[in-house]
Structure 1
């Protein structure tokens, strides 16, 4: 805008139009026009502070102001959003803008002025705010984009190793660690090691929106991973993720990642590492060099800046080191177990089909249902064939089955009678292993819940008379349909061998007496 106040001030000091034009960088025609209009409207120097250039413009050119109100201002925010769509350009948006002006009865700007208005708005909207970081206030974390190859000494194949980077924005003091993967356990351990390296904890923790740390981050709510929340609670810090697709929210981490990629990963690009441990040692050495490099625009280096300016403002480390834990939601299987990915662990059988929360640490597996811990196991790192089971988690019949032994069955049979002892002894010895007869012994033992001891003993005596290989099915039939002792004795005596007739024809007596030919 033309500096109308300066024109009137210099004119009052008797400067000519050429001198005024050079001083305010305007044309002589403009100077002449302003002096003429000011004289006509009785405006002269000195002027009060309330007479700004905008107000002078409205007083000198009221007709221009009325005409300007006829124009419809473009919606620059809408234009900026639409330009992000595929195939949309300013020409298309200007055409749509003119159509809107026609519908509203307003005058549109021409294409060139339309573009100038948008570009001016876009340039202002890109303005950034310089944030002054307080000492001990925050730690920014991220994974570096580059990797370091680890070579197998036998096959020669390479696998990538990933670089974790943490930085304190105030002093720019950095920590870096090499990991074999970017899974949750390594992500949490790197935070623990970073706090130990800094020998303190900042007030805030600023990560990116990676899945191992942040479950959901929208305009309305932020949901932090449960394991990550546990870490923050242990160290007394607060997690504040960056906005989605807004790397400037943690610009120091982004800058340090780039810096570390150059002075650590790129510096080691010509070295060959045959183990992750060797690569970790090399990265740790490069980290010390990185923190010792002098600043370009101020005295000292990152390490000195941290020790002098920030160390005393850090929160102290907790008495006990944090043990990383992995949380997962699992449905209890039919064998009333959950898994840590390697082995199965039991939970109370009445939770079959329920959704439970499983917390896995290096040495333990804990199961929670509705916030209450229902099971805890010592974690086994070797693959086992059978689940790790606690007896109290099992149903009564399953628990009894595990407690069965040959001596238990024999002692029970001894309380019933000698024939029952013989039958149980046969069941236990009929197979290659006693366990093969457990099922028959259990069935016989269950009969004691329905029949008295005398009935069971008599059924065992009778089946031993009938057969040298008693079966649980035969005993069951005898218990359901008992045979009287008198009838059994007569049948037994009739079954004694008799002298057979030499004739061909057999009489009724032969059939009545049960003779067998």
Structure 2
């Protein structure tokens, strides 16, 4: 360090000028208000340094101070004591639990006559300021990943029509190592946003402690410094991976300086280098982007002397949490109210819930394969998601008992039931169902007829059925009358003659 001094360089220049004009040491001391010994000491220093008035213009105050007050034997720009490798220390400081105090103790153990703690810290902060002119945020390994979209887009050409469609560029940067991930997606919507995170975690082969997104609507419903509201689907994804979400403050780009720098670097190293290539699909674009990302991560940073990949492998990868057993499957959450038919609607399809939940508000979780319905956090129903076919998906267990019995009635079931008695009874059931504008309107009649047949034998039931079809008696009342009057004909070669009547349709009606 320079020796202690009390005079400014302006006073020293004035002292040299007065001395050159022949003013005595005593008078110079009186004029400047300082001790005569101080004047004499500084003039001796000037003579030893070979300085006379006028002082050359190229001697700035810093150079003049160094020539007059630096200890002998110390060259300009050289420090008196052994310095550590500041680049290596800045990397070590990013590791969990490492502090400047620990690094200083290790330095002093190796160099007992090295700098004291306060000077050591000053020199280290000076090294950090040379890395960047703004305040550096301390990023611990495995602590944060910064995510955002680049403002610039990737043009993709439709091979058939020649139409150009622009894809978004997603970027994720780990805080400590600056290890970078990038990919193109068609949109910034929730499915693409969450899908990019899933692929990013797979690329890192681990999970950081925190995610720092911008206030994109797909991730943050309501931006706030004190109480930001995270999108529910995004929050479920974060919960699946055990990572916290800490949105950057609105209009505070320095909160996510890592990804901001990564965006600028990506725009030059990815978009700039790929600008002359033409992509005809999202897959082609992502293959080229992956190559550019490898180049970014393998590039040796001049001041640190190591690449992002080296830093990642050395300190960041061991600090990341392990990935869960399965990737997160994107799910969309919606609020719905159970209608009076105990179904909820999602994308114009209807899914049943237990009938006692009518008019309750429930949460619907929709994935590409399933629809899950929750009431106060408890799952009450699950269905395979429908994309076509019947619009209603109904679980019989969700129906009231009366509805369940009715739901089990189908024309095929009644036909099978009747066929178990005989062909004539099956023909009767077919005739009853065909005589109604809608088959469902004949279900109760079929049920009543088959119940009547429980009290008689199979042969008599077959005879009554044949007679009922002959005379057009297709109601429970008519068939009951045939059974009670015992007029069912025995087997004969020709059917008995039937009287003409306006209400009788005849067998030709059923052909």
**TM category, shorter:** 0.5 to 0.7
Partner of 1:162: 168
Offset, 1:236 = 2.2
Q: Is the contact made by 2:269 and 2:292 (CA closer than 8 Å) also made in structure 1? A: yes
Output the CA distance in 2 between the equivalents of 1:225 and 1:350.
Answer: 30
Q: Secondary structure at the match of 1:163?
A: strand
Offset, 1:162 = 0.9
Give the counterpart of 2:177 among 171, 195, 215.
Answer: 171
Partner of 1:371: 377
Partner deviation per Cα, 1:149-179 (whole Å, 9 max, x = no partner): 2211111112221111000121111110111
Q: Is the contact made by 2:371 and 2:383 (CA closer than 8 Å) also made in structure 1? A: yes
State whether structure 2 residue 245 is matched by structure 1 residue 229.
Answer: no
Offset, 1:406 = 4.4
Partner of 2:404: 399
Output the CA distance in 2 between the equivalents of 1:389 and 1:249.
Answer: 50
State whether structure 2 residue 219 is matched by structure 1 residue 213.
Answer: yes
Distance 1:377 1:419, change over 3 A: closer
Output the CA distance in 1 between the equivalents of 2:168 and 2:320.
Answer: 28
Partner of 2:439: 437
Distance 1:465 1:240, change over 3 A: closer
Give the counterpart of 2:298 among 284, 292, 307.
Answer: 292
Q: Is the contact made by 1:206 and 1:241 (CA closer than 8 Å) also made in structure 2? A: yes
Offset, 1:404 = 2.3
Partner of 1:273: 279
Partner of 1:124: none
Give the counterpart of 1:359 among 339, 351, 365.
Answer: 365
Q: Is the contact made by 1:217 and 1:244 (CA closer than 8 Å) also made in structure 2? A: yes
Q: Is the contact made by 2:329 and 2:367 (CA closer than 8 Å) also made in structure 1? A: yes
State whether structure 2 residue 392 is matched by structure 1 residue 387.
Answer: yes
Output the CA distance in 1 between the equivalents of 2:381 and 2:224.
Answer: 35
Output the CA distance in 1 between the equivalents of 2:279 and 2:447.
Answer: 67
Distance 1:407 1:308, change over 3 A: closer
**Which shows bigger deviation, 336-345 or 137-146?**
336-345
* TM-score, L = length of structure 2: 0.60
Q: Secondary structure at the match of 2:280?
A: coil
1:114-129 → structure 2 map (5 Å cutoff): 129=135
1:237-252 → structure 2 map (5 Å cutoff): 237-252=243-258
Give the alignment's Cα RMSD to 1 decimal.
4.4
* TM-score, L = length of structure 1: 0.59
Offset, 1:367 = 1.0
Q: Secondary structure at the match of 1:146?
A: coil
Q: Unaligned 5+ residue runs, structure 1?
A: 22-126, 486-494, 498-517
Q: Is the contact made by 1:169 and 1:252 (CA closer than 8 Å) also made in structure 2? A: yes
Q: Is the contact made by 1:136 and 1:202 (CA closer than 8 Å) also made in structure 2? A: yes
Output the CA distance in 2 between the equivalents of 1:338 and 1:17.
Answer: 98
Give the counterpart of 1:312 among 307, 310, 318.
Answer: 318
Give the counterpart of 1:346 among 352, 373, 377.
Answer: 352
Partner deviation per Cα, 1:223-243 (whole Å, 9 max, x = no partner): 322222222222222111111
State whether structure 2 residue 255 is matched by structure 1 residue 253.
Answer: no
Q: Secondary structure at the match of 2:184?
A: strand
Output the CA distance in 2 between the equivalents of 1:336 and 1:234.
Answer: 31
Partner of 1:182: 188
Q: Is the contact made by 1:162 and 1:178 (CA closer than 8 Å) also made in structure 2? A: yes
Q: Secondary structure at the match of 1:287?
A: helix
Partner deviation per Cα, 1:7-29 (whole Å, 9 max, x = no partner): 9xx9xx985576469xxxxxxxx
Q: Secondary structure at the match of 1:145?
A: coil
Output the CA distance in 1 between the equivalents of 2:263 and 2:200.
Answer: 15
Partner of 1:506: none
Q: Is the contact made by 1:423 and 1:470 (CA closer than 8 Å) also made in structure 2? A: no
Q: Unaligned 5+ residue runs, structure 2?
A: 1-5, 12-25, 35-132, 486-497, 501-511
Offset, 1:443 = 4.7
Output the CA distance in 1 between the equivalents of 2:153 and 2:388.
Answer: 31
Output the CA distance in 1 between the equivalents of 2:329 and 2:304.
Answer: 39
Offset, 1:405 = 4.0
Offset, 1:350 = 3.6
Distance 1:153 1:436, change over 3 A: same
Q: Secondary structure at the match of 2:363?
A: strand
Q: Secondary structure at the match of 2:151?
A: strand
Give the counterpart of 2:141 among 113, 135, 154.
Answer: 135
